[in-house]
Chain A
Amino acid sequence: MIEFRDRARGCLLGLAAGDALGRPAENLTPEEITRRWGRLTELEPGLDGGPAGTDDTEYAIFAASLLRAHGSALTSEDVVAAYREQILPIDGPMKGAGFSELGTVQALRRGLAPPLTGRWHAHGWSDGLAMRAAPYGIFAAGDPDEAARLAAVDGEVSHSGEGIHGGRAVAGAVAAAMTGATPAEVVAAGLAVVPADSWTARSVRAATAIAAGPRRRASEAGPEGHGLAGELHDAVVARHYPWTDLAPEAVALAFAAYVAGGGDVEESAVTAVSLGRDADTTAAIAGALAGAGRGEGGVPERWARAIGPVRGACLPSVAGRDVREVADALVGARTRVRNG
């Protein structure tokens, strides 16, 4: 029996490791990734020699801090206050931030309030909420509806439509994974908290159906004549859009990698990276799902050893925080709710 705290640590370590693993492969094609690394299985050192996570880990810590401060009473106004305190004051470039984060910041500076802050910019469908939604699943473990509700409270500030659906799906799926559910049950839990008639649901259904087929690696040919990556790209990638940050696509690829990886942390994250696109985010999501299911011990020891305190490269306010300590704090916040 894996303890709750162990799953929480596994979830965030899986997220951080997937983020760091995928960083050098972000926006590369599956073919280019295969050419450069074969299978990318080791965390590459960043500029300072340590393995570099990116915005995914730091913004997930930001989300966890919201839960620590407000618990299930979290409101969009609380989220706005945190943006004003921690993100708006960032001077100069917002490193690592996607268009949705900067668009949200500009909307807030303009004086808009949610939900219009998430609608005013054109990137409401970005995967920026999905990448940071795992803490809501940890906090509301076993209750996918509540996890999705909390993720949507956060997402209403920065996202709209499919971007919120993507965050809800990840939060709901993590909430299920935190109970030891099978990958199929986890995917079903994620789908259950988004409208069946949505881009996110259509993409997740299509991608996970492909991934549930005969197990194979990204470059190994399947029944359609090309590899898992090719089949998944045909099914869920918008060919004529130049960026890779669409939540329906990223969440679908991440869930597919997790299913294809059988819920194993290393296999899920490595598979996600092999699919290319927004590889740090997809591997972070796949790693979070698998880590919640397998616990801290399921995260490869060599990866866990390399994950230390974050540098605050994207979000200075979270510098020095370690995902293990963040996971423990989430457990504490949940315990307070249960006992209160």
Chain B
Amino acid sequence: MSSGDRRDRIRGAFTGLAIGDAAGWPAARHRWNLLAPWTRRLGRELDGFAEEHRVTTLPVPFALNQPVAALAVGPSDDAEWLAWTARTLGTDRRAAFEALGEDVRARISVRTALDNLARGVGPPASGHDNPHFFDDAAAVRAVAFGAAHPGEPDPASRAARADAEITNAEDGVHGAGAMAAAIAVAVAGAPAGDVVAAALAELPEGTAIRRAATLALALPGDAFALVPALDATLQDHVYSYGVAAAQTVAVALALTRASGGDLSRAVPAAACLASLADSAPALTGALTGAVTGWTGLPETWRERVRNLDGCCLPDLRGADLVAIADRLSGSGPAGTAHQEGLG
């Protein structure tokens, strides 16, 4: 396959992740961070108002005396963390995290890992001594490592797992290995079935993530028909984190297979899983976007998610996600290709 095809698929992985990120309802909450804190405080009060007055008109993010652009459909935390990972790929991973400012917003796993690093507790303990070691923060970042190793799932997984150990452990690390391996084969042109197989090979027997992925992949039906079955199969609804890798990676794999790698069928289905909508659509979008390729994605979405707003990583405000993806697909080893665009 031509390098142009590979570039298109890497763009597709990044843009697909951002589309899924934007399509899930939590994106609007994350993007609300761009507005003044008192707006969100009033929003929390409106939640209480709706409860007290027994009204089903639930509050949504609003802009009072502030710019409204933040509340338009657009990418949020996952797209920004992927872009940050791609930009810092050549940096020692621990040093990259330690260089993050106080003003970032991140999952509980990452916030806790940053505390651990500051305490002098490095990887793998920084990811292990961590209440949310199981979340998918590293699985999102792993898309960059997969894209940096086209056709090489093993090196992609190794790099993603080393990065993942800073913030996660166990299922959180396996989820990252799975996403990196899957993206590595997808950007090299593999069909959806092979992409899913590459991910499954990273999930050890006896883990919750393996069990969840196996059950999800056994469900019959097309992507949208899978929604109630995925909810019933994967969620116990005791405590729905929305970002547990065992569930979100499993959803991404099942919908990638059920849609044959078609983002326009897979991502809307993922976004319908309300309790997993923070990142299951993003991971689904990364896999199907890589299989589909950037030129095959809806233009309306491509343009809407291209520029980041810095809602969680303020330094990324205005960054061009496609340009960041293109730096990864430059010729030569992954460690040098991306550095052209650094700084």
Which residues of A approach B to under 8 Å, CB–CB? 99, 102-103, 106-107, 110, 115-116, 119-123, 125, 161, 197, 199, 202-203, 238-241, 246, 248
Task: Pick out which of these stretches binds chain A: B42-50, B81-89, B203-211, B288-296.
Answer: B203-211
Assess whether B111 is in contact with A240, with CB atoms less than 8 Å apart.
Answer: yes
B54 to chain A, nearest CB (A): 22
Given contacts A238-B131, A241-B108, 5 further A-B contacts (CB under 8 A): A103-B238, A116-B211, A122-B134, A122-B241, A199-B128
Minimum CB distance partner of B234 in chain A: A120
Residue pairs across A and B with Cβ atoms less than 8 A apart, 23 shown, are: A99-B239, A103-B236, A103-B238, A106-B237, A119-B206, A120-B208, A120-B211, A120-B236, A121-B236, A121-B238, A121-B239, A122-B241, A125-B131, A161-B170, A203-B129, A238-B131, A239-B111, A239-B115, A240-B115, A241-B108, A241-B131, A246-B131, A248-B129
Chain A nearest CB from B326 CB (Å) reads: 35
Query: In the bound complex, do residue A116 and residue B208 qualify as a contact, i.e. CB atoms below 8 Å apart?
Result: yes
Give the A-B pair count, Cβ closer than 8 A.
Answer: 56
Residues of chain A lying within 8 A (CB to CB) of residue B108: 240-241
Task: Check if B112 is an interface residue, CB within 8 A of chain A.
Answer: yes
In Å, the complex CA distance between A119 and B208 comes to 6
The CA-CA distance from A103 to B170 in the complex, in Å, is 19
| B129 & A199 in contact (Cβ 8 Å cutoff) | yes
The answer to whether B208 touches A199, judged by C-beta atoms less than 8 angstroms apart, is no
Residues of B at the A interface (CB closer than 8 Å) are 108, 111-112, 115, 121, 125, 128-132, 134, 170, 206-208, 211, 236-239, 241, 244
Interchain CB contact under 8 A, B131 and A102: no
Measured between C-beta atoms, what is the minimum distance from B250 to chain A in Å? Answer: 12
Please list the 9 inter-chain residue pairs (A to B) with the smallest Cβ-Cβ separation, ordered nearest first.
Answer: A240-B111, A106-B236, A199-B129, A241-B131, A119-B208, A103-B238, A102-B238, A99-B239, A238-B131
In the complex, which residues of chain A have a beta carbon less than 8 angstroms from the beta carbon of B208?
A: 116, 119-120
Q: For B239, give the chain A residue with the smallest CB separation.
A: A99
A121 to B247, CA, bound (A): 11
Q: Is the CB of A123 within 8 A of B239?
A: yes
B134: A residues at CB distance < 8 A: 122
Whole-angstrom distance from the CB of A114 to the nearest CB of chain B? Answer: 11
